[in-house]
């Protein structure tokens, strides 16, 4: 059986490790979000309705999405940023949610006197 002071020190060490873990976890979550945001950004803005558009079937986009799903976020981010640059997009700093468009409200706002 452990001496009470050794048990106390073990408990403190476990608490210290638990407190130290979140920054690494939050960095991983931020990279995961960035990776999925870039894929979603390309899905939203990198596709058109033309006949010869590859859109979500783009092999580089698919490879980046697979990298994101497998936890290799750095590779997925790098691949998506390169794809966006090749497609002549500016790489967004923060993607966020896609804007919602309500045409009738936008027209009303545009016509409203200031």
In a domain, 79, yes or no: yes
The CA distance from 111 to 94, in Å, is: 31
More confident residue, 74 or 101: 74
In a domain, 100, yes or no: no
pLDDT in tens, 68-83: 999 999 999 999 999 9
In a domain, 65, yes or no: yes
In a domain, 9, yes or no: no
Domain span at residue 85 reads: 37-94
* DSSP line for 67-112: HHHHT-HHHHHHHHHHHHHHTTPPPPS---SPPP--HHHHHHHHHS
In a domain, 107, yes or no: no
pLDDT in tens, 29-64: 888 999 989 998 888 888 766 666 676 778 999 999
How much is the pLDDT for 78?
A: 95
Of the pLDDT bands very low, low, confident and very high (cuts 50, 70, 90), residue 8 is low
How much is the pLDDT for 108?
A: 57
In this prediction, what percent of the chain has a pLDDT beyond 70?
54
- Regarding pTM above 0.75, the answer is no
Token readout for 106 is 């936008």
H/E stretch holding 33 = helix 4-45
Q: Are 68 and 35 in contact (CB under 8 A)?
A: yes
In a domain, 41, yes or no: yes
In a domain, 25, yes or no: no
| Number of domains composing the chain | 1
């Amino acid at each position: 059986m452990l001496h009470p002071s050794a048990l106390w020190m073990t408990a403190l060490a476990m608490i210290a490790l638990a407190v130290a873990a979140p920054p690494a976890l939050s960095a991983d979550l931020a990279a995961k979000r960035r990776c999925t945001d870039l894929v979603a950004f390309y899905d939203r803005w990198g596709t058109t309705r033309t006949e010869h558009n590859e859109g979500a079937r783009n092999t580089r986009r698919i490879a980046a999405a697979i990298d994101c799903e497998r936890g290799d976020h750095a590779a997925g981010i790098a691949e998506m940023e390169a794809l966006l640059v090749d497609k002549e997009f500016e790489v967004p700093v923060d993607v966020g949610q896609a804007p919602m468009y309500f045409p009738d409200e936008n027209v009303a706002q545009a016509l409203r006197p200031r």
